[in-house]
């Protein structure tokens, strides 16, 4: 089985910020992750990353909030999208 694209979307908002979501189902986990998804969820503006959720080989599931990077406990795609949306909304709230 090769990778299957689950979701791909990009939105440029009125304020110039960008939200981009890319999620793949992969045949084997991306170590050290144990689930079968490879993902990148991004929110930023003016070339600066504000929020990013991703899993990469060697780092596993993690998220970036401004300059801070922390481990992320992946449970489901649905929860991943909820957590990302909550962080984006929190960032946008003054």
* Residue range(s) defining the domain that contains residue 75: 4-92
Q: Is the pTM of this model over 0.85?
A: yes
Are the C-beta atoms of residues 63 and 93 closer than 8 Å to each other?
no
Residue 1's pLDDT band (cuts 50, 70, 90): confident
Are the C-beta atoms of residues 25 and 4 closer than 8 Å to each other?
yes
User: What is the domain count for the chain?
Assistant: 1
Classify 87 as helix, strand or coil. helix
Per-residue tokens: 35: 């689930």
Residue 94's pLDDT band (cuts 50, 70, 90): low
pLDDT in tens, 44-80: 999 999 999 999 999 999 999 999 999 999 999 999 9
CA distance 47 to 93: 20
């Amino acid at each position: 089985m090769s990778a299957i694209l689950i979701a791909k979307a990009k939105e440029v908002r009125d304020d110039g910020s960008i939200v981009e979501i890319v999620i793949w189902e992969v045949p084997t986990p991306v170590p050290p992750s144990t689930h079968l998804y490879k993902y990148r969820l991004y929110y930023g503006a003016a070339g600066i990353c504000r929020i990013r959720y991703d899993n990469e080989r060697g780092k596993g599931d993690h998220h970036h909030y401004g300059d801070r990077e922390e481990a992320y406990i992946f449970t489901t795609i649905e929860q991943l999208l909820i957590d990302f949306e909550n962080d984006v909304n929190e960032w946008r709230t003054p």
